Amino acid sequence: MRRALEHARRGIGRTTPNPIVGACVVTPEGIVVGDGCHERAGDPHAEVNALEEAGERARGSTLYCTLEPCVHTGRTGPCTERIIAAGIARVVAAMEDPFPLVRGRGFESLRQHGIMVEAGVARDEAIRLNQPFLTSLREKRPFVILKAATSLDGRLAAAPGERTQLTSEASARHAHYHRAQVDAVAIGSGTLLADDPLLTARLVYRERPLTRVVFDRGLRASPSARLLSTLAAGPVIIMTSPEARSLHVDRAHALEGAGAMLIEVDDPSLTAAVRVLAAHDIQSVLLEGGAAVHQSAWEEDLVDYVQLYVAPVTLGTQGPALLEGHTFALTALHEQRVRTLGPDVLIEGYVHRPD
């Protein structure tokens, strides 16, 4: 199962809206004869790739997979049919697929055809691997990662609206690596105006387009923002309000002319805006700031995971703080991990225990 999980990780950042899945076929003698992963939505599933590699050697063998095999027809046919036809004798799965069209039916179909089924092996690891997929099903919204760079005294910048470079090149490389693994990167309009960022995944390879999102209820974004010069890297969505759209008609037209997609959301909460993103095949969002967006996400209980880059500097009390007015205890994070990145320290962990 560990081998199947390693193959599943090859699909990180590539399979949305599908889950990340890995599989391997092992003969009764313990010989691995087939490996596979789900590489991208619309392509064959991990089980099918592993069976194709195994060929006739799959007959009488055990199939290990990180998720219950599908039993329905989507962009591809049911994996259960391929497993049955291949003559697999036993299926070992890490977890049941909670997708409504599967949810235990895949296991039942296999059992009805005389295939032994075991589930729950390395379940916790499989759950962590598919948090975006599981969150989208359970919460009807993307998995939200709060990412911030702070000083030792918890400040995000030297002063409100002032662009402040805090972290090192090592932290920047790590941050770009994680941009390459999510479906979208999001900021507030204040960060757009202060930093004029590109929000692209540089320094690393990313196969799929990266969606960039700006939460801008006042429609303050400029059509000349550098972000709009990077549409080849992926779409730019500006989440605004109907009132702002009506008030700033010319700016709205100019932004659309520059390539932005404007989406109006009546509800002023960040939760409502984030839920709308789910309709655009976005299952994971890296929330990069600024302070107001982080604050709203935290107060609305939207944050699922935290990535905090701490630089060895102090900025004093003039700058905005991370989660002002809240007691943010890093020790309360589940499965907390701490590592050094050059002179900086990265602290990360789950806000809610993954399940």
pLDDT in tens, 9-46: 999 989 999 999 999 999 999 999 999 999 988 899 99
What is the signed CA dihedral for 234, 240, 242, 247, rounded to 10 degrees? Answer: -110
90-93, strands of its sheet edge to edge: 32-37, 22-26, 62-65, 90-93, 116-119
Do 261 and 320 lie in a common domain? yes
Q: Which of 47, 68, 288, 348 is catalytic?
A: 47
Indicate the range of 74-78, 93-97, 140-144, 210-214 predicted with least confidence. Answer: 74-78
Considering the entire predicted model, what is its pTM? 0.92
Residue ending a domain, among 67, 97, 129, is 129
Q: In terms of DSSP bridges, do strands 236-240 and 62-65 run parallel, antiparallel, or are they unpaired?
A: unpaired
pLDDT in tens, 131-173: 999 999 999 999 999 999 999 988 888 888 778 888 999 999 9
Contact yes or no for 322/309 (Cβ under 8 A): no
Q: Is residue 47 among the annotated active site residues? A: yes
Do 96 and 225 lie in a common domain? no
Task: Report the number of distinct structural domains present in the chain.
Answer: 2
Residue ending a domain, among 129, 161, 188, is 129
Contact yes or no for 330/167 (Cβ under 8 A): no
pLDDT in tens, 42-83: 899 999 999 999 999 999 999 999 999 998 777 777 899 999
Do 125 and 20 lie in a common domain? yes
Q: Which pLDDT belongs to residue 331?
A: 82
pLDDT in tens, 224-269: 999 999 999 999 999 999 999 999 999 999 999 999 999 999 999 9
Do 324 and 197 lie in a common domain? yes
Query: In angstroms, rounded to a whole number, what is the distance separating the alpha carbons of residues 13 and 84?
Result: 30
Indicate the range of 71-80, 91-100, 178-187, 289-298 predicted with least confidence. Answer: 71-80
Give the model's confidence band at 185: pLDDT under 50 very low, under 70 low, under 90 confident, else very high: very high
Q: Which pLDDT belongs to residue 353?
A: 87
User: Per-residue pLDDT averaged across 180-202, rounded?
Assistant: 93
Do 189 and 112 lie in a common domain? no
Domain at 12, CATH number: 3.40.140.10
Do 146 and 111 lie in a common domain? no
Supply the range of the domain harboring residue 81. 2-129
Q: Which pLDDT belongs to residue 227?
A: 96
